[in-house]
């Protein structure tokens, strides 16, 4: 094995032979910057022997034989050749790490010891030794042992036996405690911001808790600038005061989003979408805030306002009030052409919904998010040439848990599981009795840094009397299709259909949705660079009734950009199957947002 390095202006070339690549790399690091004039070249050559031996000894080779040859050329660079016989390395005989002080009662240091890879029989490496020393000091400071120091740190080397003994003795001293937390710049009541503190007064100091504190403040959305500062220069009797500097966000925030639905299978058109979101991050000193979202598209305009009231905790216990006017389209409607003996698309099932809801959402210590809700829904739609306007008062309960392998916008691993139950009863004012059950799962994992897998499963069921199915509004039924369902098909165009005689006496067909939903997806993503990846996927499933199930499969691929504001995905899906109501189709999907 050999390596060749040239100076920028060709004053010196270096050729190393006889050692593995990692030792060669360490030698070049010890030799330092290459010369760029004659004076520097002579000084460089004067130190080659010492620096090379230092590099070898730092990796455990104390008996190396070094042959140095310098060829002085009249023209062109001089040639430095290093031929090395490294010899047998020094082997670690034993490692003794001894603790003293309050750290003996701190289990974190036991876990750190168990994580160390160094062991008797390893080749001595001074870099590994220095790294261990640095890790221990860093961990001690992060855990509040500000007086910690080494009482002994040494490597005893027996050159005759080629063995080394490592001795580390660290005295942590006492562990410091959290002191009072002082807020500056907040216009919220003290009880609101103090509820975000994840530690009690006089709790043992830990920077991990300060990081969690900072994240809590950030997640509220109240502040544009946050600084959580331990006042180490004001430590008194072992207590560390904490200073928090906050800057409120602007009173109003407006966000505008633009998009398009391209390649609709029912109408081969381009449907623009415009979304405007108005947020008031802090309405009063109690931390109330609101978000109003208005979305326009030719067939699906909607507006929804959510007013949030923090209860016992700004993040983990909230009361949400929802008001909405939502229009949407579902499935496809078709008329039969007797001359051509085929069904032709005429539109979609349209629905207009008025919504008023109240939800209490709480997070448990085990990170389960559970909510209790009551919603009043009045929906207007025309199905099979008949007008319907059922009213529902839905009592709901849901459970969600999300686990992320990291806190980036593009997590490398993690999963989300969601379960919900909703119930409506005529005795409580609803038009019919209905129970809705849903379960959603999503899983993400990355193998060998570049290979990422995403899988999801969506399941749903409506339990109601068979004669009441027409009175279940479209927004409460199940449809399939779209970028979060089966790609390659239009949004909510798949599902069970009904043939009927229309008002003109002709034959018509309408996709009305189903009682049940079963959809699965598997996607493979490969990172071309840290910010670009390609993907391929398979989606399958459908919405269905007990006697009518047509499984649909789509395949496709895409290009994803991991932007500073989150992944932007450009996917193209192809439907592999024609159903009775939908021909094989293709869809281009442009979506943005994290997978979890």
With CA atoms as reference, report the closest residue to 128 among 120, 138, 116.
116
Q: Would strands 177-184 and 239-248 be described as parallel, antiparallel, or unpaired?
A: parallel
- Residue 514 has what DSSP assignment? B
| 448: CB partners within 8 A, 6+ apart | none
Quick one: pLDDT at residue 23? 93
With CA atoms as reference, report the closest residue to 353 among 307, 397, 398, 394.
394
Return d(Cα 263, Cα 587) in angstroms, integer: 5
How many other CB atoms are there within 10 angstroms of residue 426's CB atom? 12
Handedness of CA 372, 376, 378, 384 (dihedral sign): positive
pLDDT values of the chain reduced to their tens digit, one per residue, 596 residues: 455 555 545 789 999 999 999 999 999 999 998 998 989 999 999 999 999 999 999 999 999 999 999 999 888 899 999 999 999 999 999 999 999 999 999 999 999 999 998 999 999 999 999 999 999 999 999 999 999 999 999 999 999 999 999 999 999 999 999 999 999 999 999 999 999 999 998 999 999 999 999 999 999 999 999 999 999 888 888 999 999 999 999 999 998 887 766 554 445 566 677 889 999 999 999 999 999 999 887 777 899 999 999 999 999 999 999 999 999 989 899 999 988 888 998 989 999 999 999 999 999 989 999 999 999 999 999 999 999 999 999 999 999 999 998 878 899 999 999 999 999 999 999 999 999 999 999 999 999 889 999 999 999 999 999 899 999 999 999 999 988 999 999 888 999 999 999 988 899 999 999 999 999 999 999 999 999 999 999 999 999 998 778 899 999 999 999 998 889 999 999 999 888 888 888 888 888 888 88
Report the Cα 533 to chain-centroid distance in Å: 16
Identify the burial level of 503 via C-beta atoms within 10 angstroms of its C-beta, where 0-12 means exposed, 13-18 middle and 19 or more buried: exposed
**By three-state DSSP, how is residue 341 classified?**
coil
How many other CB atoms are there within 10 angstroms of residue 151's CB atom? 10
**By three-state DSSP, how is residue 205 classified?**
coil
Return d(Cα 192, Cα 313) in angstroms, integer: 7
Handedness of CA 192, 195, 196, 197 (dihedral sign): positive
| 338: CB partners within 8 A, 6+ apart | none
Side-chain-facing half-sphere of 275: CA atoms under 13 Å: 12
**By three-state DSSP, how is residue 360 classified?**
strand
Q: Residue 53 belongs to what H/E stretch?
A: helix 48-58
Are the CB atoms for 545 and 460 separated by under 8 Å?
no
> Can you list the domains of the chain with their CATH numbers?
10-83 (3.10.20.310), 89-169 (3.10.20.310), 175-246 (3.10.20.310), 251-590 (2.40.160.50)
Please state the φ and ψ torsions of residue 464, each to the nearest 5 degrees. -155, 165
With CA atoms as reference, report the closest residue to 67 among 53, 50, 84.
84
3-state secondary structure 210-239: HHHHHHHHHHHCCEEEEEEEECHHHCECCE
How many other CB atoms are there within 10 angstroms of residue 337's CB atom? 12
Strand partners, 574: 555, 586
Are the CB atoms for 489 and 482 separated by under 8 Å?
yes
| 417: CB partners within 8 A, 6+ apart | 400, 401, 439, 440, 441, 442
Are the CB atoms for 185 and 114 separated by under 8 Å?
no
Report the Cα 549 to chain-centroid distance in Å: 35
Confirm whether pTM is higher than 0.85.
no
- Both tokens of 64, joined, read 């190396």
Return d(Cα 474, Cα 330) in angstroms, integer: 7
Quick one: pLDDT at residue 265? 44
- Both tokens of 277, joined, read 């979101």
| 104: CB partners within 8 A, 6+ apart | none
Strand partners, 268: none
- DSSP readout, 398-466? EEEEEEESSSSSS-SSEEEEEEEEEEE-GGGT-SS-EEEEEEEEEEEEEETTTEEEEEEEEEEEEE--G
- Residue 476 has what DSSP assignment? G
Residue in the structure block whose two tokens are 């043992």:
204
Q: Would strands 566-575 and 317-337 be described as parallel, antiparallel, or unpaired?
A: unpaired
């Amino acid at each position: 094995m050999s390596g060749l390095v040239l100076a920028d202006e060709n004053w010196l070339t270096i050729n190393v032979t006889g050692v593995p690549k990692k030792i060669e790399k360490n030698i070049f690091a010890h030799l330092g910057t290459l010369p760029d004039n004659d004076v520097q070249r002579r000084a460089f050559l004067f130190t080659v022997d010492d620096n090379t031996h230092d590099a070898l000894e730092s990796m455990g080779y104390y008996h190396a034989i070094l042959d140095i040859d310098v060829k002085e050329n009249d023209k062109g660079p001089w040639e430095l050749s290093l031929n090395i016989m490294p010899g047998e390395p020094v082997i670690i005989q034993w490692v003794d790490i001894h603790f003293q002080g309050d750290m003996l009662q701190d289990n974190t240091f036991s876990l750190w010891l168990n994580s160390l890879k160094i062991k008797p029989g390893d080749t001595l490496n001074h870099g590994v030794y220095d790294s261990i020393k640095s890790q221990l000091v860093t961990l001690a400071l992060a855990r509040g042992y500000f007086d910690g120091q080494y009482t002994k740190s040494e490597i005893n080397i027996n050159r005759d036996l080629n063995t080394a003994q490592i001795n580390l003795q660290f005295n942590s001293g006492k562990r410091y405690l959290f002191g009072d937390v002082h807020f500056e710049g907040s216009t919220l009541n003290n009880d609101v911001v103090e509820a975000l503190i994840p530690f009690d007064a006089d709790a043992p100091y830990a920077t991990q808790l300060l990081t969690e504190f900072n994240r809590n403040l950030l997640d509220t959305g109240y502040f544009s600038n946050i600084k959580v500062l331990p006042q180490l220069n004001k430590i008194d009797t072992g207590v560390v005061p904490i200073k928090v500097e906050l800057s409120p966000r602007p009173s109003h925030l407006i966000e505008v989003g633009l998009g398009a639905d391209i390649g609709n299978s029912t109408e081969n058109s381009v449907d623009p979408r415009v979304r405007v979101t108005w947020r008031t991050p802090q309405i009063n000193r109690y931390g109330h805030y609101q978000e109003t979202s208005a979305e326009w598209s030719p067939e699906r305009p909607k507006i929804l306002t959510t007013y949030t009231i923090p209860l016992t905790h700004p993040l983990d216990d909230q009361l949400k009030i929802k008001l909405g006017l939502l229009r949407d389209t579902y499935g496809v409607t078709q008329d039969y052409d007797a001359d051509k003996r085929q069904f032709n698309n005429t539109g979609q099932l349209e629905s207009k919904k008025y919504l008023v809801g109240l939800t209490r959402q709480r997070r448990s210590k085990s990170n389960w998010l559970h909510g209790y809700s009551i919603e009043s829904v009045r929906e207007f739609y025309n199905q099979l040439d008949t007008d319907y306007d059922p009213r529902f008062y839905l009592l709901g309960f849901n459970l969600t848990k999300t686990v992320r392998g990291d806190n980036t916008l593009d997590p490398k691993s993690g999963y989300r599981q969601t379960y919900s139950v909703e119930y409506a009863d005529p005795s409580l004012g609803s038009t019919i009795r209905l129970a809705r059950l849903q379960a959603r799962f999503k899983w993400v994992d990355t193998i060998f840094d570049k290979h990422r897998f995403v899988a999801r499963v969506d399941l749903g069921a409506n339990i109601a009397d068979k004669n009441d199915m027409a009175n279940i509004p479209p927004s409460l039924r199940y449809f399939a299709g779209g970028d979060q369902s089966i790609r390659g098909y239009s949004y909510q165009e798949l599902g069970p259909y009904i043939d009927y005689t229309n008002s003109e006496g002709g034959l018509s067909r309408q996709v009305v949705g189903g009682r049940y939903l079963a959809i699965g997806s598997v996607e493979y993503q490969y990172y071309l660079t840290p910010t670009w990846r390609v993907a391929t996927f398979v989606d399958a499933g459908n919405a269905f009734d007990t006697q009518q199930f047509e499984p649909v499969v789509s395949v496709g691929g895409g290009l994803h950009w991991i932007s500073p504001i989150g992944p932007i995905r450009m996917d193209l899906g192809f439907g592999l199957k024609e159903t009775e109501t939908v021909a094989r189709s293709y869809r281009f999907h442009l979506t943005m947002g994290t997978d979890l």
